[in-house]
Amino acid sequence: MSFARTIFGDVPTDVLGVVNCHDHLIRVGAGEVYLDPDHSLADVGKATEEASYFVKAAKAWAASGTVVDMCPANCGRDIRKLVEVNRATPDLHVIAATGFHREHVYLETTSHWVNRYSVNQIADLLIEDIESGIDAHDYSGPLVERTQYRAGVIKFASAYGKITDWEEKTLRAAAIASIKTGCPINTHTTAGTVALEQAERLISLGVPAGRIAIGHVQRNADVWYLSQITRLGCYLELDGTYRIKYLPDSSRVHLVRELGKLGFGQQLLLGTDSGKKSYQKAYGSVNGVDFDPAVFAPRLLAEGFERDYVEDLLMYNAQRFFAFGDPK
């Protein structure tokens, strides 16, 4: 039976309901917060409020909703706070991440443990997060204290226009962890760059294409380019909703329409990546984590998209993607 790994356990994939494939409910500190304090999402009450808006919007489409919290290792994860949010939000499933963000957000990385440990040692840490439980201390070290709450997705991230040596090491560890556990990989591209190369590198290391989603690619809204990735069999993850400073939401509608016409509609995933206070309703924004079921999907229907396709985008594609594959 295919299952997805939520923090409260493995579930049949159809109970995930509406899936927000890349978002942030909790981030308690670390490099991103240092770079911009707007990234601090440490308040359980606010996160619970934000999650409740998502579940409410999801219920127009399904019995439940799932938020994939893409905060990776040593990046401000607080699995116990995330559990508190999940406990306080009925009909919500949460999938937590392991893996890595791009080197830049770890600040000065010369002495970072990614540089000190071997690829296999790093992979083992990811595997332990997936199979045993996420470290309560987010691999901020030196003590590791496993919780019972396991990761259900691996993050990999690269810089603008390149994969740094540090990132290449994390990529190899992510690939090993995915192959050994069957866990899907959901990536961060910086402004949509290096998207095809991420897919090609992961596939060349042995990760099945259907277990890879290349993320934030709406920032490079180039249908021909993106179709080179879907042709490999990978998924594309489109988020950055209501980020008008970068692109109008019509650009995302365009991608969904044109990639659908090319036959890649079953390989598209939606998220919002509302990973700052200023992107969340609980902190005063007019849009937030609920954007896809609340605003985007109704808009697609209003623009004449078939309901079946909209439901694939909101639910069924992600339910397929987040299913664990066979470990090797």
Question: Which positions from 143 through 182 interact with Zn ion, judged by CB under 5 A?
Answer: none
Which range touches Zn ion (CB under 5 A), out of 75-83, 266-274, 283-291, 314-322?
266-274
Smallest CA-to-CA distance from 103 within 156, 152, 150 is with 156
Are 141 and 85 in contact, with CB atoms under 8 Å apart?
Answer: no
Which range touches Zn ion (CB under 5 A), out of 105-113, 144-152, 200-208, 271-279?
271-279
Using the minimum distance from each CB to Zn ion, give the nearer residue, 86 or 186. 186
Should residue 293 be labelled a site residue for Zn ion when binding is judged by CB under 5 A?
no
- Rounded to 5°, the CA angle 84-87-91 comes to 140
Q: How far is the CB of 188 from Zn ion (least distance, A)?
A: 6
Q: How far is the CB of 70 from Zn ion (least distance, A)?
A: 5
Q: How far is the CB of 279 from Zn ion (least distance, A)?
A: 10
What does the DSSP assignment read for 97-165? EEE---GGGG-S-TTSHHHHS-HHHHHHHHHHHHHT--BTTTT-SS---B-SPPEEEEEEE-BTTB--H
Which residue type occupies 248? P
Choose, by CB under 5 A, the member of 72, 99, 208, 275 that binds Zn ion: 275
Q: Which two tokens stand for residue 254?
A: 């365009």
Alpha-helix runs per DSSP H in the chain: 31-35, 44-58, 79-87, 113-116, 119-131, 165-181, 195-204, 223-231, 249-261, 291, 297-302, 307-311, 317-321
Question: Which positions from 55 through 74 interact with Zn ion, judged by CB under 5 A?
Answer: 70
Residue 141 exposed, middle or buried by CB count within 10 Å (0-12, 13-18, 19+): exposed
Using the minimum distance from each CB to Zn ion, give the nearer residue, 208 or 241. 241
End-to-end, the C-alpha distance of the chain in Å comes to 17
Q: How far is the CB of 23 from Zn ion (least distance, A)?
A: 7
Q: How far is the CB of 100 from Zn ion (least distance, A)?
A: 13
- Residues 188, 214: Cα–Cα separation, whole Å: 7
Number of helices (H) and strands (E), helices first, in the chain? 13, 10
Q: How far is the CB of 71 from Zn ion (least distance, A)?
A: 8
Using the minimum distance from each CB to Zn ion, give the nearer residue, 275 or 293. 275
Choose, by CB under 5 A, the member of 103, 273, 292, 312 that binds Zn ion: 273
Q: How far is the CB of 47 from Zn ion (least distance, A)?
A: 14
Using the minimum distance from each CB to Zn ion, give the nearer residue, 208 or 271. 271
Q: How far is the CB of 166 from Zn ion (least distance, A)?
A: 19
Using the minimum distance from each CB to Zn ion, give the nearer residue, 65 or 275. 275
Are 212 and 235 in contact, with CB atoms under 8 Å apart?
Answer: yes
Binding mask 185-204 for Zn ion (x = CB under 5 A): --------------------
Are 237 and 271 in contact, with CB atoms under 8 Å apart?
Answer: yes
- Binding interface with Zn ion (CB under 5 A): 70, 273, 275
